[in-house]
Amino acid sequence: MRRAVPRGVWVVPPVAVLAVLFLYPLGLVVQQSLTPDNGGGAFDAYARVFGSRAFLDALGTTVWLAVGATLGCLVLGFTLALIIAFVPFPGARAVAKFIDVFLSFPSFLITLALLFVYGTVGMANGLVTEFTGAAEGPFRFLTTPWGVLLAEITYFTPFVIRPLLAAFSQLETAQLEVAAGLGARPARIVRRVILPEALPALGAGGSLVLVMCLNEFGIVLFTGAKDVTTLPMLIYGKAILESDYPAACVVAVVNIAISVGLFGLYRVVSKRAGA
Protein backbone atom coordinates (compact mmCIF):
# COMPACT_ATOMS: atom_id res chain seq x y z
CA MET A 1 0.00 0.00 0.00
CA ARG A 2 1.30 3.40 -0.98
CA ARG A 3 2.09 5.62 1.98
CA ALA A 4 0.77 9.19 1.95
CA VAL A 5 3.36 11.93 2.05
CA PRO A 6 3.10 13.91 5.33
CA ARG A 7 1.69 17.37 4.87
CA GLY A 8 4.69 18.91 6.56
CA VAL A 9 6.93 17.75 3.72
CA TRP A 10 5.13 19.99 1.22
CA VAL A 11 5.96 22.99 3.38
CA VAL A 12 9.70 22.48 3.03
CA PRO A 13 10.20 23.64 -0.62
CA PRO A 14 8.42 27.02 -0.33
CA VAL A 15 10.06 27.69 3.03
CA ALA A 16 13.48 26.85 1.55
CA VAL A 17 12.89 29.18 -1.41
CA LEU A 18 11.74 31.92 0.96
CA ALA A 19 14.83 31.45 3.11
CA VAL A 20 17.23 31.58 0.15
CA LEU A 21 15.64 34.55 -1.63
CA PHE A 22 14.65 36.74 1.32
CA LEU A 23 15.81 35.58 4.75
CA TYR A 24 19.41 34.86 3.74
CA PRO A 25 20.04 38.37 2.29
CA LEU A 26 18.45 39.93 5.37
CA GLY A 27 20.66 37.77 7.53
CA LEU A 28 23.71 39.03 5.63
CA VAL A 29 22.65 42.63 6.29
CA VAL A 30 22.34 41.95 10.02
CA GLN A 31 25.68 40.09 10.03
CA GLN A 32 27.43 42.95 8.23
CA SER A 33 26.02 45.45 10.74
CA LEU A 34 27.66 43.41 13.50
CA THR A 35 31.02 43.07 11.70
CA PRO A 36 32.93 46.37 11.61
CA ASP A 37 35.50 46.70 8.87
CA ASN A 38 38.25 47.91 11.25
CA GLY A 39 37.60 45.28 13.93
CA GLY A 40 36.27 46.13 17.35
CA GLY A 41 33.11 45.07 19.15
CA ALA A 42 30.01 43.71 17.44
CA PHE A 43 27.89 46.73 18.36
CA ASP A 44 30.51 49.40 17.70
CA ALA A 45 28.89 50.28 14.37
CA TYR A 46 25.51 50.66 16.11
CA ALA A 47 27.00 52.97 18.74
CA ARG A 48 28.75 55.02 16.05
CA VAL A 49 25.62 55.38 13.91
CA PHE A 50 23.20 56.02 16.77
CA GLY A 51 25.51 58.71 18.11
CA SER A 52 25.88 60.49 14.77
CA ARG A 53 23.96 63.65 13.97
CA ALA A 54 23.35 62.46 10.41
CA PHE A 55 21.39 59.41 11.60
CA LEU A 56 19.29 61.39 14.09
CA ASP A 57 18.48 64.02 11.47
CA ALA A 58 17.60 61.36 8.90
CA LEU A 59 15.38 59.53 11.39
CA GLY A 60 13.57 62.74 12.32
CA THR A 61 13.13 63.75 8.66
CA THR A 62 11.84 60.30 7.76
CA VAL A 63 9.30 60.28 10.58
CA TRP A 64 7.90 63.76 10.01
CA LEU A 65 7.68 63.29 6.24
CA ALA A 66 5.96 59.91 6.65
CA VAL A 67 3.51 61.20 9.27
CA GLY A 68 2.84 64.46 7.40
CA ALA A 69 2.28 62.66 4.09
CA THR A 70 0.00 60.13 5.77
CA LEU A 71 -2.15 62.83 7.35
CA GLY A 72 -2.31 64.70 4.04
CA CYS A 73 -3.30 61.51 2.21
CA LEU A 74 -6.02 60.76 4.77
CA VAL A 75 -7.60 64.21 4.49
CA LEU A 76 -7.31 64.47 0.70
CA GLY A 77 -8.21 60.82 0.12
CA PHE A 78 -11.32 60.99 2.30
CA THR A 79 -12.50 64.17 0.56
CA LEU A 80 -11.94 62.78 -2.94
CA ALA A 81 -13.52 59.44 -2.06
CA LEU A 82 -16.62 61.25 -0.77
CA ILE A 83 -16.91 63.17 -4.04
CA ILE A 84 -16.40 60.09 -6.22
CA ALA A 85 -18.79 57.91 -4.23
CA PHE A 86 -21.62 60.30 -3.30
CA VAL A 87 -21.51 63.29 -5.67
CA PRO A 88 -22.94 62.26 -9.05
CA PHE A 89 -20.88 63.59 -11.95
CA PRO A 90 -20.08 62.31 -15.46
CA GLY A 91 -17.09 60.01 -15.51
CA ALA A 92 -17.18 58.99 -11.84
CA ARG A 93 -16.73 55.31 -12.72
CA ALA A 94 -13.87 56.14 -15.07
CA VAL A 95 -12.13 58.08 -12.30
CA ALA A 96 -12.54 55.14 -9.92
CA LYS A 97 -11.04 52.78 -12.50
CA PHE A 98 -8.19 55.19 -13.18
CA ILE A 99 -7.33 55.09 -9.48
CA ASP A 100 -6.83 51.33 -9.78
CA VAL A 101 -4.46 51.90 -12.71
CA PHE A 102 -2.69 54.73 -10.86
CA LEU A 103 -1.71 52.29 -8.09
CA SER A 104 0.57 50.50 -10.55
CA PHE A 105 2.54 53.65 -11.50
CA PRO A 106 6.12 53.98 -10.17
CA SER A 107 6.60 56.88 -7.80
CA PHE A 108 9.27 58.58 -9.90
CA LEU A 109 6.76 59.19 -12.72
CA ILE A 110 4.64 61.38 -10.45
CA THR A 111 7.75 63.24 -9.30
CA LEU A 112 8.81 63.72 -12.91
CA ALA A 113 5.38 65.15 -13.73
CA LEU A 114 5.65 67.59 -10.82
CA LEU A 115 9.07 68.65 -12.09
CA PHE A 116 7.54 69.48 -15.47
CA VAL A 117 4.93 71.65 -13.73
CA TYR A 118 6.73 73.20 -10.73
CA GLY A 119 10.40 72.65 -11.54
CA THR A 120 12.87 75.49 -12.00
CA VAL A 121 12.21 75.46 -15.75
CA GLY A 122 8.73 73.99 -15.43
CA MET A 123 5.45 75.21 -16.88
CA ALA A 124 4.41 77.31 -13.88
CA ASN A 125 7.70 79.23 -13.74
CA GLY A 126 7.66 79.56 -17.53
CA LEU A 127 4.24 81.20 -17.51
CA VAL A 128 5.25 83.63 -14.77
CA THR A 129 8.47 84.68 -16.50
CA GLU A 130 6.68 85.02 -19.84
CA PHE A 131 3.98 87.34 -18.52
CA THR A 132 6.07 89.32 -15.99
CA GLY A 133 9.42 89.40 -17.76
CA ALA A 134 11.18 88.24 -14.59
CA ALA A 135 14.46 86.40 -14.94
CA GLU A 136 13.33 83.52 -12.70
CA GLY A 137 10.01 82.07 -11.62
CA PRO A 138 8.80 82.04 -8.01
CA PHE A 139 8.21 78.28 -7.68
CA ARG A 140 11.27 76.71 -6.05
CA PHE A 141 9.70 74.61 -3.32
CA LEU A 142 9.99 71.27 -5.13
CA THR A 143 13.59 70.73 -4.00
CA THR A 144 12.66 71.42 -0.36
CA PRO A 145 11.05 69.09 2.20
CA TRP A 146 7.68 70.63 1.29
CA GLY A 147 8.18 69.56 -2.32
CA VAL A 148 8.91 65.99 -1.19
CA LEU A 149 5.81 66.12 1.01
CA LEU A 150 3.65 67.31 -1.91
CA ALA A 151 5.00 64.55 -4.17
CA GLU A 152 4.35 61.86 -1.55
CA ILE A 153 0.81 63.06 -0.90
CA THR A 154 0.13 63.18 -4.64
CA TYR A 155 1.43 59.66 -5.19
CA PHE A 156 0.10 57.86 -2.11
CA THR A 157 -3.41 59.39 -1.84
CA PRO A 158 -4.95 56.75 -4.16
CA PHE A 159 -3.81 54.08 -1.69
CA VAL A 160 -6.24 55.67 0.77
CA ILE A 161 -9.01 56.30 -1.78
CA ARG A 162 -9.18 52.66 -2.91
CA PRO A 163 -10.17 51.07 0.43
CA LEU A 164 -12.49 54.00 1.14
CA LEU A 165 -14.38 53.45 -2.11
CA ALA A 166 -14.72 49.77 -1.21
CA ALA A 167 -16.08 50.72 2.21
CA PHE A 168 -18.49 53.29 0.76
CA SER A 169 -19.83 50.73 -1.73
CA GLN A 170 -21.07 48.63 1.21
CA LEU A 171 -22.75 51.55 2.95
CA GLU A 172 -26.55 51.35 2.99
CA THR A 173 -27.91 54.29 1.03
CA ALA A 174 -31.09 54.03 3.09
CA GLN A 175 -29.17 55.37 6.10
CA LEU A 176 -28.17 58.45 4.14
CA GLU A 177 -31.71 58.96 2.87
CA VAL A 178 -33.19 58.66 6.35
CA ALA A 179 -30.64 61.10 7.77
CA ALA A 180 -31.34 63.57 4.96
CA GLY A 181 -35.08 63.11 5.43
CA LEU A 182 -34.73 64.03 9.09
CA GLY A 183 -33.14 67.33 8.11
CA ALA A 184 -29.50 66.48 8.74
CA ARG A 185 -27.07 68.68 6.82
CA PRO A 186 -24.45 67.06 4.56
CA ALA A 187 -21.63 67.81 7.02
CA ARG A 188 -23.56 66.11 9.83
CA ILE A 189 -24.32 63.09 7.64
CA VAL A 190 -20.64 62.75 6.83
CA ARG A 191 -19.65 63.11 10.49
CA ARG A 192 -22.30 60.89 12.06
CA VAL A 193 -23.06 58.28 9.37
CA ILE A 194 -20.27 58.02 6.79
CA LEU A 195 -17.15 58.66 8.89
CA PRO A 196 -17.80 55.88 11.47
CA GLU A 197 -18.16 53.38 8.62
CA ALA A 198 -15.01 54.69 6.97
CA LEU A 199 -12.73 54.56 10.03
CA PRO A 200 -11.50 50.96 9.50
CA ALA A 201 -10.69 51.71 5.84
CA LEU A 202 -9.00 54.96 6.83
CA GLY A 203 -6.91 53.09 9.38
CA ALA A 204 -5.90 50.39 6.89
CA GLY A 205 -5.08 52.84 4.12
CA GLY A 206 -3.29 55.24 6.46
CA SER A 207 -1.10 52.56 8.03
CA LEU A 208 -0.17 51.21 4.59
CA VAL A 209 0.77 54.71 3.38
CA LEU A 210 2.83 55.24 6.53
CA VAL A 211 4.86 52.09 5.82
CA MET A 212 5.43 53.03 2.18
CA CYS A 213 6.36 56.64 2.97
CA LEU A 214 8.87 55.42 5.53
CA ASN A 215 10.69 53.43 2.82
CA GLU A 216 10.25 55.86 -0.09
CA PHE A 217 13.45 56.47 -2.01
CA GLY A 218 12.56 57.42 -5.59
CA ILE A 219 10.54 60.53 -4.75
CA VAL A 220 13.29 62.05 -2.61
CA LEU A 221 15.91 61.23 -5.23
CA PHE A 222 13.99 62.55 -8.24
CA THR A 223 12.90 65.82 -6.63
CA GLY A 224 16.57 66.71 -6.27
CA ALA A 225 16.04 67.75 -2.65
CA LYS A 226 19.70 67.67 -1.61
CA ASP A 227 19.00 68.88 1.94
CA VAL A 228 16.39 66.16 2.54
CA THR A 229 18.03 63.00 3.90
CA THR A 230 15.75 60.15 4.90
CA LEU A 231 16.79 56.73 6.18
CA PRO A 232 16.75 55.15 2.68
CA MET A 233 18.80 58.08 1.35
CA LEU A 234 21.24 57.69 4.25
CA ILE A 235 21.62 53.99 3.43
CA TYR A 236 22.36 54.90 -0.18
CA GLY A 237 24.90 57.53 0.86
CA LYS A 238 26.70 55.29 3.33
CA ALA A 239 26.83 52.27 1.01
CA ILE A 240 27.35 53.80 -2.44
CA LEU A 241 29.02 57.15 -1.82
CA GLU A 242 31.07 56.45 1.32
CA SER A 243 31.51 52.64 1.04
CA ASP A 244 30.74 52.43 4.77
CA TYR A 245 28.85 49.13 4.58
CA PRO A 246 28.57 48.42 8.33
CA ALA A 247 26.97 51.83 8.92
CA ALA A 248 24.66 51.36 5.92
CA CYS A 249 23.60 47.96 7.26
CA VAL A 250 22.95 49.41 10.71
CA VAL A 251 20.61 52.02 9.23
CA ALA A 252 19.01 49.31 7.09
CA VAL A 253 18.36 47.14 10.16
CA VAL A 254 16.70 50.09 11.91
CA ASN A 255 14.63 50.82 8.81
CA ILE A 256 13.56 47.19 8.53
CA ALA A 257 12.63 47.00 12.22
CA ILE A 258 10.43 50.09 11.98
CA SER A 259 8.87 48.87 8.73
CA VAL A 260 8.06 45.43 10.10
CA GLY A 261 6.49 46.98 13.20
CA LEU A 262 4.34 49.32 11.12
CA PHE A 263 3.42 46.51 8.73
CA GLY A 264 2.25 44.47 11.71
CA LEU A 265 0.06 47.42 12.68
CA TYR A 266 -1.27 47.59 9.11
CA ARG A 267 -2.18 43.89 9.16
CA VAL A 268 -4.05 44.26 12.45
CA VAL A 269 -5.97 47.29 11.24
CA SER A 270 -6.73 45.81 7.79
CA LYS A 271 -7.96 42.60 9.43
CA ARG A 272 -10.38 44.58 11.54
CA ALA A 273 -11.42 46.46 8.39
CA GLY A 274 -12.16 43.15 6.70
CA ALA A 275 -9.47 43.65 4.06
- For 128-151, the pLDDT digits (tens) are 787 887 777 777 788 888 989 999
Report residue 75's pLDDT band, with 50, 70 and 90 as the boundaries: very high
Determine the Cα–Cα distance for residues 65 and 148; give it in Å rounded to an integer. 8
**Helix 53-86 and helix 158-169: axis angle, to 10°?**
40
Contact (Cβ atoms closer than 8 angstroms) between residue 169 and residue 82: no
Report residue 63's pLDDT band, with 50, 70 and 90 as the boundaries: very high
CA 42, 44, 45, 47 torsion: positive or negative? positive
**pTM for the model:** 0.81
pLDDT at 37: 66
| Chain segment 164-184, per-residue pLDDT in tens | 988 888 877 666 666 666 666
Three-state secondary-structure class, residue 100: helix
